[in-house]
Amino acid sequence: MNKILNFISLFIFLSLGSCKNNVSPNYYNQSVKQGIQIGIDLTGNNVCKASNIYDSLTYIKLETTPDCVIGVIDIIIPVNDRFIVVDKTVSKSIFLFDTKGKFITKIGTTGRGAKEFDSPDDVTYNKYREEIVVWCNNLKKILTYKIDGTFLSEVKLDYYVYALSVYDKTTLVVFLNNVVENTLPEGDKYNLLFLDLNGNIISKQAPVDIKKDKFSGPCNHSFSSYKDSQLFFFPYKNTINTIYRDSIVPRYYVNYRTQNLPEELLAGKTFRQVYKEIKTMDVGVLTRFLETDSYIYLASNYGKLPINSIYNKRTKKVSTFTLAVNDIKTLYPLPVIIAVSDDSLIGYCESHQFVPLKDLYKNISKESQNINNVINGNYQNLPNGGLKSNFLRVLEDIDFKMDKEEIDFVSNINESDNPIIIIGRLNKSI
């Protein structure tokens, strides 16, 4: 069974899944105060091909060296011809790579002294100044570096922050929640604080009393940027807002219809209580939002199942995914999406996900005319259910072909290597 589950990890995209276009279009109703409606159906059980989603997939193996060992990727920031990669919890480090995956340098130094952070709890990029901004929660300080890693400044705050973003050239915006705000003076008890580069509060938005009782939700992915706009959604809320120093303007509303989270569920409960309850409920929870010129990418949790959707801004249609089979690169792992660039989704997979693929490739001769038979035979013992039957149906519909480049890439990956960055150019017909 473990072997079967390992095979499943090759193509199950935990932030991607079954391919389905909603029959009903998404409507923009100016009388709806929450913003443009994005309707998402979480109940689909189909499986699709990666080619239904992407025009192309590019796999970039990140160089592994004694000075560059990544435990897990938490943040990827594409910057021109480089990638900023953040591992918050294992190596607690920030790495810089070129677009071919070659390691360039580490950003900052891990420690508890001056000019150091003991954990990069949030990292963002100030495109106006070409600077990397780091929040260290334990030490309550903001550190700033040049893109080459040169240290620039350190600012201490008197309070803890849960998320950090750049508002404009000279302004940062931070998110706090009810627990954190109890450490602030009475006049500063707001969810969003706008800070100058010296850490001074210059504006406040979303006072504490808009949050019911003492509920305090997570917010690791609540900020995102689109062009010069800062976007934000409150934990366990479905409205994506554009935030300004003097206002919060609803931009989009994610409507899960009958799977919307009941408002009363949040009243008077801790995050742990709410988290435990929703895992047993048929409700949708928005976990990530990313916008490009043509698309909006949304990650949701539906009970224990992660489901992601792509909203086409031109056609107003939504494609929602649970499982996908990689027919572009034969059964390569598909990405966990955490960033966007232009109209491409950017994510990663772990090197160990290629291990079962190596075993599968060994059973397929380069000259074999029965690739599909070998592949299909490896998945007959999957647990029965709608996903299994749909998955096997999609497998049978794909004419798998393998080339030497695909085989060589897989054979050169070791289980202990750093993760692989994946860039997926979205299919224009999605």
Q: Across the chain, which distance is largest between two alpha carbons, in Å? A: 73
Neighbours of 325 (CB within 10 A): 27
Would you say 35 and 251 are in contact if contact means Cβ atoms under 8 Å apart?
yes
pLDDT tens digit string along 182-204?
A: 556 666 678 899 999 999 999 99
Q: CA angle, 402 as apex, 397 and 404 as ends, to 5°?
A: 170
Distance, CA of 238 to CA of 210 (rounded, Å): 15
DSSP 328-359: TTTTPPPPEEEEEETTEEEEEE-GGGGHHHHH
pLDDT band at residue 46, thresholds of 50, 70 and 90?
Answer: low
pTM value is 0.88
Rg of the chain, C-alpha, whole Å: 22
Q: Which domain holds residue 228?
A: 2-426
Would you say 126 and 114 are in contact if contact means Cβ atoms under 8 Å apart?
no
Query: How far is residue 277 CA from its own chain's centroid?
Result: 23
* The dihedral sign for the CA sequence 417, 423, 429, 430: positive
DSSP 307-328: EEEEEETTT--EEEESEEE-TT
When the pLDDT of each residue in the chain is averaged and rounded to a whole number, the result is 84
Strands laid side by side in the 82-87 sheet: 75-79, 82-87, 93-98, 103-106
What average pLDDT does the segment 107-124 reach? 95
Q: What is the CATH number of the domain that holds 165?
A: 2.120.10.30
**Nearest to 423, CA basis, from 350, 343, 319:** 343
**For the chain, what is the domain count?**
1
pLDDT band at residue 289, thresholds of 50, 70 and 90?
Answer: very high
The per-residue pLDDT for 20 is 42
Would you say 422 and 59 are in contact if contact means Cβ atoms under 8 Å apart?
yes
pLDDT tens digit string along 242-265?
A: 999 999 999 999 999 999 988 788
Q: CA angle, 321 as apex, 318 and 323 as ends, to 5°?
A: 165
pLDDT tens digit string along 398-420?
A: 888 878 888 899 999 999 999 99
The per-residue pLDDT for 17 is 40
Parallel/antiparallel/unpaired status of strands 318-321 and 284-291? unpaired
